[in-house]
């Protein structure tokens, strides 16, 4: 017996007064029938049951009302002025797997819950036709510009988070400042932007117990300034944003801001958040976050994880490779790359792209055809379909902080960053001498994968300040730099990244 086994035994023998009570949640979650086990093992069964349920569902009409977000105005001393009420969705039924049903499995109750879940998911996903057109145009322009940043370090970018953040900046701006942002966001006018942003938010928001893709927006005002109430209220309702007001030089207010960001992202980006300052001349801080967590449809087995060599640009490194052989992965091949898609249970998918040996991730990211592939979650052409795959993929945990002003300027947004031309007359009364401009647009993103699934978080902040005044068999060994993407369930790219060194954060 190994020493760690003996240590485990010895821990089992310690005095009973030292042992804490088991938490109640742990008891209720697992005790009755091993529900967690069923949730994890259910993927295979879930598909089978889906078909079974589909037939039953055809005869059922369900009306599900979703609570559209309301805004609660609170007149308290706290900094919060309005708190966004996030969409509530029906929970994915527990204990679902036909392979692993518990003793108390009740098929009728299960079907009823399943129907509720399906209808609620559909209600959110069924946004007006073409709702994402503006976002697609934005992707075409923006991803290649940001991807040029990718050098020999790891790189991650969240298009959706930037889109939502810049939407609120556009709402606060006016005149040409607003128009330049609307052009970037691929929409003709502010009304279309409001509809687009809200639809993107609702269609991609998932909080149903099975998967998680939580989006959140907020604005942080300075209590020294006066704001236009109708604009603030519109930001709260149309963009589902929470609204806060306080003194940007007050440590408590800054702490509340940082706490909000940490809460929304489950503390995945604390290193970044803890250093995030508020400018004393702050007029408006806009923050958008994404918090994504999904379990692989086909989980990797820990026993199969083995150390291996990754050929990083700076030299070989050793890291843990997860391994799997499976026949049902979607694979694609293109000029200079092969790609594989790993489904995430009920919550989109991850696409992993391995550049051919004679090319590099950087070269691919400059290629127009490749960018088209990158921006489109539904791929046609060059697909070799479902194939038997030997997959070897390093575990990684990568993050990237991106100062975005240079790229946004390349993309045609100029006035917003210019203190002489910035026009933010929609959010506040701006006199001819009031110099208001965006001082910072920054994004911090982190994505990690392991045997269980994929987790990711993004924060984008824009800080507006006022100055002076107020079938075959394929082998995928990801042992050299590769590109990855995480798509939400509707196919919106949440994260795009390059892993150059899996051992480096």
Residue 21 touching another protein (CB under 8 A): yes
DSSP letter, residue 209: S
Residue 120 touching another protein (CB under 8 A): no
Place of tokens 């030299």: 315
Task: At 207, list the tokens.
Answer: 């909080």
Residue 32 touching another protein (CB under 8 A): yes
Residue 123 touching another protein (CB under 8 A): no
Q: Least distance in Å: CB of 29 to another protein?
A: 7
**Residue with smaller CB distance to another protein, 211 or 425:** 211
Please pick, from the candidates 54, 267, 385, 412, the single residue that binds another protein as defined by CB under 8 A: 267
Residue 275 touching another protein (CB under 8 A): no
Residue 37 touching another protein (CB under 8 A): yes
Please pick, from the candidates 26, 88, 325, 429, the single residue that binds another protein as defined by CB under 8 A: 26
Residue 325 touching another protein (CB under 8 A): no
3-state secondary structure of 183: helix
> Using an 8 Å Cβ cutoff, are 110 and 93 in contact?
yes
Q: Least distance in Å: CB of 104 to another protein?
A: 13
Please pick, from the candidates 126, 259, 270, 309, the single residue that binds another protein as defined by CB under 8 A: 270
CA distance 153 to 174: 38
Q: Least distance in Å: CB of 267 to another protein?
A: 3
- The residue length of the chain stands at 505
Calculate the dihedral angle through the C-alpha atoms of 355, 360, 361, 365, rounding to the nearest 10 degrees: -100
CA distance 365 to 413: 22
> Using an 8 Å Cβ cutoff, are 445 and 157 in contact?
yes
Residue 307 touching another protein (CB under 8 A): no
Distant-in-sequence, close-in-space partners of 460: CB < 8 Å, separation ≥ 6: 158, 161, 162, 164, 165, 287, 288, 289, 404, 441, 442, 443
Task: At 37, list the tokens.
Answer: 């086990």
Rounded to the nearest angstrom, the gap between the alpha carbon of residue 9 and the centroid of all alpha carbons in its chain is 41
Site residues for another protein, 50-109, by CB under 8 A, read: 100, 102
CA distance 127 to 2: 57
3-state secondary structure of 214: strand
Please pick, from the candidates 2, 76, 357, 368, the single residue that binds another protein as defined by CB under 8 A: 2
| Count of residues that bind another protein according to CB under 8 A | 46
Residue 5 touching another protein (CB under 8 A): yes
Residue 129 touching another protein (CB under 8 A): no
> Using an 8 Å Cβ cutoff, are 451 and 300 in contact?
yes
Residue 27 touching another protein (CB under 8 A): yes
Dihedrals φ, ψ of 136, to 5°? Answer: -65, -40
Specify the stretch interacting with another protein by CB under 8 A; choose among 14-22, 197-205, 213-221, 314-322: 14-22
Residue 38 touching another protein (CB under 8 A): yes
Residue 319 touching another protein (CB under 8 A): no
- The residues binding another protein (CB under 8 A) are 2-23, 25-34, 36-38, 40, 100, 102, 262, 266-268, 270, 301-303
């Amino acid at each position: 017996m190994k020493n760690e086994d003996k240590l485990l035994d010895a821990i089992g023998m310690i005095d009973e007064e030292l042992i804490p009570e088991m938490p109640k949640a742990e008891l209720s979650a697992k005790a009755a029938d091993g529900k967690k086990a069923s949730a994890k093992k259910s993927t295979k069964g879930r598909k089978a049951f889906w078909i079974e349920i589909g037939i039953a569902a055809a005869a059922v009409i369900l009306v599900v009302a979703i609570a559209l977000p309301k805004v609660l105005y609170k007149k308290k001393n706290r900094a919060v002025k309005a708190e966004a009420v996030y969409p509530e969705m029906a929970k994915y039924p527990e204990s679902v797997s036909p392979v692993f049903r518990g003793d108390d499995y009740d098929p009728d109750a299960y079907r009823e819950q399943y129907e509720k879940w399906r209808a609620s998911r559909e209600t959110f996903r069924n946004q007006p036709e073409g709702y994402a057109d503006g976002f697609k145009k934005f992707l075409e322009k923006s991803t290649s510009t940001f991807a040029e940043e990718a050098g020999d370090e790891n790189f991650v970018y969240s298009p959706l988070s930037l889109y939502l953040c810049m939407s609120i900046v556009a709402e606060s701006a006016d005149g040409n400042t607003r128009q330049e942002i609307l052009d970037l966001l691929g929409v003709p006018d502010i009304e279309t932007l409001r509809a687009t942003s809200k639809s993107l938010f609702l269609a991609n928001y998932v909080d149903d117990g099975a998967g998680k893709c939580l989006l959140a927006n907020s604005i942080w005002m300075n209590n020294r300034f006066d704001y236009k109430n109708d604009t603030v209220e519109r930001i709260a309702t149309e963009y589902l944003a929470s609204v806060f007001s306080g003194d940007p030089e007050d440590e408590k207010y800054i702490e509340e801001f940082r706490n909000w960001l940490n809460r929304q992202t489950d503390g995945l980006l604390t290193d970044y958040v803890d250093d995030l300052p508020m400018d004393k001349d702050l007029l408006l801080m806009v923050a958008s976050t994404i918090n994504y967590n999904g379990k692989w449809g086909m989980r990797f087995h820990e026993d199969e994880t083995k150390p291996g060599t990754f050929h990083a640009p700076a030299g070989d490194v050793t890291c843990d490779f997860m391994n799997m052989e499976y026949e049902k992965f979607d694979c694609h091949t293109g000029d200079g790359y092969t790609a594989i898609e790993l489904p995430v249970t009920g919550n989109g998918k991850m696409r992993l792209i391995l550049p051919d040996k004679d090319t590099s991730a950087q070269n691919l990211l400059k290629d127009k055809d490749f960018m088209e592939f990158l921006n489109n979650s539904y791929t046609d052409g060059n697909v070799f379909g479902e194939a038997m795959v030997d997959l070897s993929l390093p575990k990684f945990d990568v993050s990237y902080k991106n100062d975005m002003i240079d790229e946004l300027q390349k993309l045609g947004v100029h006035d917003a960053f210019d203190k002489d031309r910035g026009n933010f007359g929609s959010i506040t009364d701006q006199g001819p001498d009031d110099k208001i401009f965006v001082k910072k647009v920054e994004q911090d993103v982190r994505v990690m994968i392991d045997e269980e699934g994929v987790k990711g978080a993004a924060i984008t902040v824009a800080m507006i300040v006022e100055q002076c005044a107020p079938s075959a068999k394929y082998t995928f060994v990801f042992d050299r730099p590769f590109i990855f993407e995480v798509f939400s369930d509707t196919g919106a790219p949440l994260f795009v990244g390059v892993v150059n060194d899996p051992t480096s954060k």
